Structure 1
């Protein structure tokens, strides 16, 4: 017969509360490791592939730790728990071919390797705390947390379905996932943190009380250790008043991060005199540029490089108390603001007209 002491010990070992504590601790360790991958991603110039790289690293770790059948069960389980709707549910995936597809695949693989190496560094801590068996699920849960708030649940579920299909075809390797052309805002996080300032989700068709509506579009290009940037600002207000402002400049940039940030900081300086009630919409075709700007807490700070500290301090001061909204948009030179910015980049301000 089993005595009472043995029963009590077994109950303690599988206690739901204890299991939850262990799960949360392992997840915290893995999240910290993923955040630490930002520097190596920057060094390898693939920080803009963080998300697909994270997914590739996650699948590789699952394959290394578990049988493929167990990986499929795990992915199917997580997919079933995802929401069915999101603001970008109907957004198509990027469609690349030829050299562009080859480059994308190479960059994703490089990013995945950098992230996997960062996660490897946390294994010793997991082993020290007796949590090493939590690694695969913790890595998956970390990825689900970040990707659901970026790709959206519909596209994350697509990634899982495509991966399971790859396994079923007999290939035990990460599928090359094409990101959605539109990513979601972090409104889900805001809903769980009521103390955070809520932003209106849609700009009014015409600003009230005489203030202006300001659109800022910025772009950049790199040449060696130097970057060129430009912005175009369109202001509209009561009485059909319109203004167009453009600016072009250069920045020392060794990793592809400084130049786009300088462009947006300079643009915000140019509109800093506007009324605090003015709606300012910041747009760019480079979604990764907005990662350190939009959002809250650690997930936003993970995209802020220490060497960019002065620029981020300027940025935070410029947006304080203002209604700033961020949009990652598709390149379209027939759109007048993008066209103006492109002309400034190519010809300079004096030759715009």
Structure 2
């Protein structure tokens, strides 16, 4: 007797360790996008509205991806996990009205849009890694991570309660949250310092912090026998339409064309190593193989790193650690101003361009 076979599709079982790894990876990608949004916020003069703008972005992302009832459940769940005490718990919120309130609302909306635009840019990466379904809660968790440390848990819970109340009133939109007039202060660890027996000698005042910029680096090289020539052109742009252009040319011993382009990029990274750590640095070259050892993780990247270049790779890793570095393989185009500048430096040298 024949029987009909019934195929049962089993659900994929993900181990807790893999689940944690995916959640942390998605959150790390979102945090990086939020850091990158600071340039947009500075250019729009709304960097001071980062926190309420981020909260608005988190809520709007949840609304776009989930039913309102589910959003309320998520917010209620996160609110229950917050601490019930904070040093600024009794601090009131800003009380604005009239033109001040209108300006505040406009700035928060502008900041929220800038942050949303930065987050939109990472969606292809999340999709590529199969993490796009984690976007809404990752944005929320990123907001909670930053806001709890700044607003404090009591005021963050107030933001969640006010948002749920807005939903219950029948309005499926983010509520305008009024920040506390005082935020959490970072505690100084004076108790860990021993008192000075003798006064310290007078020191020079610290240099002012450098603002964030967008930095583009283009590098090129050419090989002649056992010697390589390299050059780079760096363009920096920042708030207030500030711009800088830097160029450099050099030589390196090289028999196979591998170390010269790497030297160029390492020297370029040295030239921008003093910039704000949050500055975005984009490294561009027309030679895609040069980037193989820089991108990726683990064995995928190490396969393109030769032992003879080990000192250069150590310098590269030290210069890129903790920085937002992006890599682009582009087509040759001398009408593009950085490529043209680099080409002229290669041909004439820096001094002859002045």
TM-score bracket relative to the smaller structure: 0.5 to 0.7
Q: Which runs of 5+ in 1 are unaligned?
A: 1-5, 188-197, 202-206, 213-252, 258-299, 307-353
In structure 2, relative to structure 1, the CA distance for the partners of 1:209 and 1:89 (3 Å cut) is farther
The residue aligned with 2:273 is: none
The residue aligned with 1:138 is: 138
Residue 87 in structure 1 maps to residue 77 in structure 2: no
Give the alignment's TM-score, normalised by structure 1.
0.53
**SS at structure 2 position matched to 1:37:** helix
Partner deviation per Cα, 1:250-277 (whole Å, 9 max, x = no partner): xxx95599xxxxxxxxxxxxxxxxxxxx
The residue aligned with 2:218 is: none
The residue aligned with 2:19 is: 19
When Rg is computed on C-alpha atoms for both structures, the one with the higher figure is: 2
Shift in Å at residue 15 of structure 1? 1.2
The residue aligned with 2:113 is: 113
Shift in Å at residue 14 of structure 1? 2.5
Q: How do 1:216-227 residues align onto structure 2 when only pairs under 5 Å count?
A: none
Cα distance in 2 for residues equivalent to 1:75 and 1:21:
23
Partner deviation per Cα, 1:224-274 (whole Å, 9 max, x = no partner): xxxxxxxxxxxxxxxxxxxxxxxxxxxxx95599xxxxxxxxxxxxxxxxx
Cα distance in 1 for residues equivalent to 2:109 and 2:132:
25
The residue aligned with 2:53 is: 53
Cα distance in 1 for residues equivalent to 2:151 and 2:198:
37
The residue aligned with 2:101 is: 101
The residue aligned with 1:35 is: 35
The residue aligned with 1:199 is: 189
Q: How do 1:128-207 residues align onto structure 2 when only pairs under 5 Å count?
A: 128-187=128-187, 199-200=189-190
Shift in Å at residue 17 of structure 1? 1.0
CA contact (8 A) 1:46 1:110 kept: yes
CA contact (8 A) 1:150 1:186 kept: no
Partner deviation per Cα, 1:275-328 (whole Å, 9 max, x = no partner): xxxxxxxxxxxxxxxxxxxxxxxxx954x799xxxxxxxxxxxxxxxxxxxxxx
Partner deviation per Cα, 1:51-83 (whole Å, 9 max, x = no partner): 000001111111001111111000000000000
CA contact (8 A) 2:54 2:112 kept: yes
Aligned length, in residue pairs:
207
CA contact (8 A) 2:36 2:280 kept: no
CA contact (8 A) 1:87 1:184 kept: yes
**SS at structure 2 position matched to 1:42:** helix
In structure 2, relative to structure 1, the CA distance for the partners of 1:210 and 1:92 (3 Å cut) is farther
Shift in Å at residue 210 of structure 1? 9.8
Q: Which runs of 5+ in 2 are unaligned?
A: 1-7, 201-237, 243-275, 282-354
**SS at structure 2 position matched to 1:165:** helix
In structure 2, relative to structure 1, the CA distance for the partners of 1:120 and 1:305 (3 Å cut) is closer
Cα distance in 2 for residues equivalent to 1:88 and 1:16:
36
Cα distance in 2 for residues equivalent to 1:90 and 1:209:
40
Shift in Å at residue 208 of structure 1? 9.0
In structure 2, relative to structure 1, the CA distance for the partners of 1:208 and 1:32 (3 Å cut) is closer
**SS at structure 1 position matched to 2:115:** helix
Superposition RMSD on alpha carbons, in Å?
3.3
CA contact (8 A) 2:49 2:108 kept: yes
Q: Where does structure 1 differ by over 2 angstroms across 4 or more consecutive aligned residues?
A: 198-201, 207-212, 253-257
Give the alignment's TM-score, normalised by structure 2.
0.53
In structure 2, relative to structure 1, the CA distance for the partners of 1:25 and 1:305 (3 Å cut) is closer
